[in-house]
């Protein structure tokens, strides 16, 4: 493409994956990470998560207000690091998960985000119908609360049998869920991630076309999921070029090509398109982020006008 990617997409970075010390919301250096990203004008958007220290959270909110970045809030760590399950068939467990996501909506508002993203709980064949109903209940309650603040709620599509083993899940089931949600909630959408598509045994074209009316947000990254004995197997979001990885420049190019063909390049209201990359073991986070930029720059340069 001859025109800049920034005309059509808001390129973002998931701060708590690239710099995973803050996954649990307790990193005292979180402001340094946010400032580093805010000072890098490659990025139009930043994805943040919980910051448990109220004083640090308020300082982060001030920094983000100054940055002119689009702020997004990922509530997935509130579930993944605690074991809470939004589609728990035990009502007390479901309510506990809902409560932390209600808190996430308040925190997202404070940080300047216009909504939250989360994920469904575990896939279990014997309880999937009840779990689906529980997920609908949770998500409708979240959307109703978010609506009072003019905010949105997004569900991220994950794998169902490899790593997160999430109910949502394969694209056709995600489409059914989103359709059910949209009958009552116009502030609900789906987030898809190139990293997860190989783990659901689907293709970018199939996923995007199946979920097209409901997609509101994009992630891009890599995964190792072809060989269960391979280093880093599962949903680890390794850098591009990692041994055994499923995604690299060619796959990012194809992802962009599908998004372009399906009408997701919108100069008036660009979608967020965020890197979800994570250092493996002792890798340098800054180098991993630079790697991702190079891959996206190359893929964009190869994309046909």
pLDDT for res 124: 85
How many domains does the chain fold into? Answer: 1
> d(Cα 157, Cα 258) in Å, to the nearest integer?
18
Which domain does 20 fall in, by range?
Answer: 5-302
Pick the closest to residue 10 from 77, 50, 67 (CA basis). 67
The tens-digit pLDDT sequence of the chain (305 residues) is: 999 999 999 999 999 999 999 999 999 999 999 999 999 999 999 999 999 999 999 999 999 999 999 999 999 999 999 999 999 999 999 999 999 999 999 999 999 999 999 999 988 889 999 999 999 999 999 999 999 999 999 999 999 999 999 999 899 999 999 999 999 999 999 999 999 999 999 999 999 999 999 999 999 999 999 999 999 999 999 999 999 999 999 999 999 999 999 999 999 999 999 999 999 999 999 999 999 999 999 999 999 99
> d(Cα 238, Cα 221) in Å, to the nearest integer?
7
Q: Tokens in use for 48?
A: 């943040």
> d(Cα 226, Cα 276) in Å, to the nearest integer?
19
CATH number of the domain within which 224 lies? 3.20.20.150
Residue 183: CB atoms within 10 Å: 8
What secondary structure, in 3-state letters, does the chain show?
A: CCCCHHHHEEEEEEHHHHCHHHCCCCCCCHHHHHHHHHCCCCCCEEEECCCCCHHHHHHHHHHHHHHCCEEEEECHHHHHCCCCCCCCCCHHHHHHHHHHHHHHHHHHHHHCCCEEEEECCECCHHHHHHHHHHHHHHHHHHHHHHHCCCCEEEEECCCCCCCCCECCCCHHHHHHHHHHHHCCCCCEEEEEECCCCHHHCCCHHHHHHHHHHHEEEEEECCCECCCCCCCCCECCCCCCCCCCCCCCHHHHHHHHHHHHHCCCCCCCCCEEEEECCCCCCCCCHHHHHHHHHHHHHHHHHHCCC
pLDDT for res 71: 98
Instruction: Please state the separation of Cα 256 from the chain's center in Å.
Output: 17
pLDDT for res 265: 98
Report the DSSP beta bridge partners of residue 263. none
> d(Cα 110, Cα 290) in Å, to the nearest integer?
30
| Integer Rg of the chain from CA | 18
> d(Cα 97, Cα 85) in Å, to the nearest integer?
6
Cβ pair 276, 220 in contact under 8 A: yes
> d(Cα 34, Cα 39) in Å, to the nearest integer?
9
> d(Cα 43, Cα 45) in Å, to the nearest integer?
6
| Relative orientation angle of helices 204-211 and 249-261, to the nearest 10 degrees | 30
pLDDT for res 125: 87
């Amino acid at each position: 493409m001859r025109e800049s990617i920034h005309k059509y997409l808001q390129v973002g970075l998931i701060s708590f994956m690239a710099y995973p010390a803050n996954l649990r919301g307790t990193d005292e250096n979180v402001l340094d990470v946010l400032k580093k990203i805010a000072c890098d004008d490659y990025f139009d958007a930043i994805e943040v998560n919980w910051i448990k220290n109220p004083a640090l959270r308020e300082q982060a909110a001030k920094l983000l207000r100054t940055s002119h970045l689009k702020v997004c809030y990922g509530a997935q760590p509130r579930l993944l690091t605690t074991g809470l399950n939004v589609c728990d068939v035990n009502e007390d467990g479901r309510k506990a998960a809902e409560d932390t996501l209600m808190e996430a909506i308040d925190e997202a508002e404070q940080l300047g985000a216009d909504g939250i993203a989360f994920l469904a709980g575990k896939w279990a064949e014997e309880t999937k119908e009840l779990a689906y109903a529980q997920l609908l209940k949770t998500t409708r309650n979240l959307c109703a609360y978010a609506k009072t603040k003019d905010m949105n709620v997004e569900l991220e599509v994950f794998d169902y049998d490899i790593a997160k083993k999430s109910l949502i899940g394969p694209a056709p089931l995600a489409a059914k869920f989103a359709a059910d949600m949209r009958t009552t909630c116009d502030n609900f959408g789906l987030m898809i991630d190139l990293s997860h598509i190989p783990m659901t045994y689907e293709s970018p074209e199939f996923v995007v076309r199946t979920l097209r009316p409901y997609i509101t947000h994009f992630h891009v990254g890599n995964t190792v999921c072809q060989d269960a004995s391979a280093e880093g197997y599962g949903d680890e979001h390794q850098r591009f070029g990692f041994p055994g990885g499923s995604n690299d420049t060619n796959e990012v190019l194809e992802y962009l090509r599908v998004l372009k063909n399906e009408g997701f390049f919108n100069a008036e209201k660009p979608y967020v398109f965020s890197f979800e990359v994570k250092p493996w073991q002792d890798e340098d986070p800054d180098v991993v982020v630079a790697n991702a930029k190079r891959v996206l720059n190359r893929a964009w340069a190869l994309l046909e006008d």
